[in-house]
Amino acid sequence: MHDEVEVITAEGVVIAAVHGDVDHDTFREIRDALFTCTAGGAAAVVVDLDQVGFFGSIGIAVLLETRQHADQLGIGFAVVAGRRTVARPIRLTDTQDLLRVQRTRDEALAAVRRQPRFTGFLDEPSDTGVERSWP
């Protein structure tokens, strides 16, 4: 698919392992690859950042955009950020809960399997947006 993103599918979950730097030179290709992963019909997407060297603010923006896209499609989402170079900027921007950050791939896989499925948009007052069972 893309040089910066290796895609693996395991039991209905797409794992997008990002390699190299996430910066202004690479973010477009990485974002496109992550959006392709979320649009592929998987039950969930895990973005694994354990092979990322530099992780700038544009990386956080890409993850937030991907999380929003996953929510709109009703699929689970989590991020693996075990390396300090990735975890620190996420923590400093206080986005770790929003991005559903986990330390390991196994923890992220477990997290997306227990996440409630998002079933719609929260724009309608009668829509809670959450279905309480995982398929």
Instruction: Please check the confidence at residue 117 and state whether its pLDDT lies above 80.
Output: no
Summarize the confidence of residues 38-50 as an average pLDDT: 93
For the chain, what are the domain ranges? Answer: 5-131
Of all residues in the chain, what percent carry a pLDDT higher than 90?
74
Average pLDDT over all residues of the chain = 86
Q: Is pTM, for the whole model, over 0.85?
A: no
**Residue 3 pLDDT more than 70?**
no
Greater confidence (3 vs 29) lies with 29
Question: Which of 1-5, 48-52, 72-76, 118-122 has the highest average model confidence (pLDDT)?
Answer: 48-52
String of DSSP letters for the chain: -BTTEEEEEETTEEEEEEEEEESTTTHHHHHHHHHHHHTT--SEEEEEEEEEEEE-HHHHHHHHHHHHHHHHHT-EEEEE--SHHHHHHHHHTT-TTTTTEESSHHHHHHHHHHSPEE-S-TTSTT---EES---
pLDDT value of residue 1: 40
> CA 75 to CA 124: how far, in whole Å?
19
State the sign of the Cα–Cα–Cα–Cα dihedral 101, 105, 107, 111. positive
Q: In this predicted structure, what is the pLDDT of residue 120?
A: 53
Examine the pLDDT at 20 and tell me if it is beyond 60: yes
Three-class SS string for 84-95? HHHHHHHHHCCC
Query: Which CATH class name applies to 5-131?
Result: alpha beta
pLDDT bucket at 118, cuts 50 / 70 / 90: low
The average pLDDT across 106-126 equals 71
pLDDT digits (tens, 9 = 90+) for 102-113: 999 999 999 998
